[in-house]
Structure 1
Amino acid sequence: MRPWQDDQLHLLQSTQHEDELFQEVLALSKQLGFEHCAHGLRLPLPLCEPKIIMHNSYPAVWQTRYQDKKYLAVDPTIQHGIRTPRPLVWSDDVFRSAPEFWEEARSFGLCVGWAQSVRDGAGVCGMTTFARSAEPLTSKELREKEFEMAWLAQTIHVGMTRCLLPKIMPEIDVILSSRERAVLRWTAEGKTAGEISSILNLAERTVNFHIRNAVAKLNAPNKTSAAIRATVLGLL
């Protein structure tokens, strides 16, 4: 393991609060030659309006503009990160679909950037961005730094989920029994409790017992919602 990897693992394991973690990562990003760092988490729940948590060091006025103009919905880097974990280097071509956004971002000194997303087994998507006002990213710089940048993106994702998810998405720690998983799988397939009882050779009241337990554990309003949540969270 390289020395900087050991340092980052220590950072991941020792930092207990998300704000402290972000400040540590920001310091590391400056060592890599970037003025700014950003990290966002997109939670898988609720399905209709997934919760998004942002940390960044961008100018405060730009942060306000980004929110007020709802740039999150048109930011091409976000759309890229949702589709693929491939690293992305900012360019005019990347922002072709959002020229106003790109022009305004550059007016705040956000001219050069690199981003990479991470998606984990619980369906949580995170994206880390490093940005600066000048000095384009050359092929030589990418060859020298991109592995460390990608490692740092993974490290901050793991650290942020460790710090945040127990507080804002307690379902992440749910442990379903084998029977609860089985009845939810068949529920997701559209089977009734009676049909599931025949499939699993269980009494119908036993099936309903396991369904009720799963619904309670997942804090779901009904069995259909419980099956969806369990699927999204990778519990089935």
Structure 2
Amino acid sequence: MEQWSRENLDRLAQATSADEVFEAALHASRALGFEYCAYGARLPVPLSRQRTFARNNYPEGWQHRYEEAGYLAQDPTVLHGLAHGTPVTWNDAVFEKAPLLWEEAQSFGLKVGWAQSLFGQQGTRGMLTLARSGEQIQPAELDAKEASMSCLANATHQAFSRVLAADLAGLPEQPLTPRQVDILKWSADGKTSSEIAEILGISINTVNFHVKNALVQLNAPNKMAAVVRAAMLGLLN
């Protein structure tokens, strides 16, 4: 698998667009014996209506059916991925609570699959799924390929995060300044503008100036929302 790793990880690292990343991931998955590849990510903000990003080459009919039936909310592989970073291999037991989804997926040729979720530094959760219509994944195949499959999942997540940086990770276009970070940290601790001004040895107007700029950069409606968003994105660490 050394040649597979060198060739396919290089392609992912050199990709400059979402299309190129997906094509590189699909090429790598086919080399591992899977005809289908799917990547999905759930963005950390906004909290009230979290957005998702997805790319796959599943049969078009299944893509429409999956969306129409709202299967994303009940897909056991997705639910597993939201809670765990360990891989999951499709089988009857995994889909026990979603039998109709499993039955319909198989009717579209999605009979065998493996998925692993990834947790990004900015709170972005992603998941790569490899699937096929043919032979079941036997223990020997899993032993031989799972390290490469996990490597592909991580590399794909990193590549998508890189090419879609601001949108996928939810990062502001301009980084917060050290002073903005300090003020938001103290705000997170419940300090008022006057208290922060005294702590930092600056005027209240200066505190409010930095808060106002942070709101614009974070696209937040108020200071509390800015603090939550910055914390979710790991900007206050």
TM-score range with shorter-chain normalisation?
over 0.9
Greater shift after overlay, 101-110 or 60-69? 101-110
Distance 1:208 1:73 in 2: 41
The number of equivalent residue pairs is 236
Q: Which residue of 1 aligns with 2:140?
A: 140
Per-residue CA distance 1:188-221 (angstroms, 9 max, x = gap): 2232212222333332222212211211221211
* TM-score normalised by length of structure 2: 0.93
Counterpart for residue 12 of structure 2? 12
> How far did residue 9 of structure 1 move?
3.2
Aligned to 1:181: 181
Q: Distance in 2 between matches of 1:170 and 1:132?
A: 32
1:14-72 Cα deviation digits (max 9, x unpaired): 22221222122112111111121101121112211111111111110000000001100
Q: How does 1:74-153 map to 2 (within 5 A)?
A: 74-153=74-153
| Secondary structure at the counterpart of residue 163 of structure 2 | helix
Task: Please identify runs of 4+ aligned residues in structure 1 that moved more than 4 A.
Answer: 167-170
The 2-side partners of 1:172 and 1:10 are apart by 28
Unaligned runs of 5+ in 1: none
Structure 2 distance, partners of 1:146, 1:138, is 11
Greater shift after overlay, 129-138 or 166-175?
Answer: 166-175
Deviations 1:73-112 (A, max 9, x none): 1001111111111111111111111111111111111111
1:221 aligns with 2:199: no
Alignment partners' CA distance in 2, 1:118 and 1:178: 29
Match for residue 232 of structure 2? 232
Aligned partners of 2:9, 2:30: CA distance in 1, in Å? Answer: 18
- Equivalence for 1:25: 25
Q: Once superposed, what is the RMSD of the aligned Cα atoms?
A: 1.8
* Structure 2 unmatched ranges of 5 or more: none
CA 1:14/1:116 → structure 2, altered by over 3 Å: closer, same or farther?
same
Aligned to 1:202: 202
- CA deviation vs aligned residue, 1:104-152 (integer Å, no higher than 9, x gap): 1111111111000111111111100001123111111111000100111
Contact 2:124 2:169 in 1 (8 A): no
Over 3 Å counting, the alpha-carbon distance change for 1:131 and 1:168 in structure 2 is closer
Counterparts of 2:133 and 2:9, CA distance in 1? 29
Are 2:13 and 1:40 aligned? no
The question of 1:192 aligning with 2:192 is answered yes
SS for the counterpart of 1:136 is coil
1:166 corresponds to 2:152? no
**Measured at CA, do residues 173 and 155 of structure 1 come closer, stay the same or move farther in structure 2, by a change above 3 Å?**
farther
TM-score by length of 1: 0.93
**Amino acid corresponding to residue 54 of structure 2 in structure 1:** M
Matched AA of 2:135: E
Q: Which residue of 1 aligns with 2:69?
A: 69
- For 2:140, the aligned partner's letter is K
Matches of 1:2 and 1:200, distance apart in 2: 54
Distance in 1 separating the partners of 2:11 and 2:193: 48
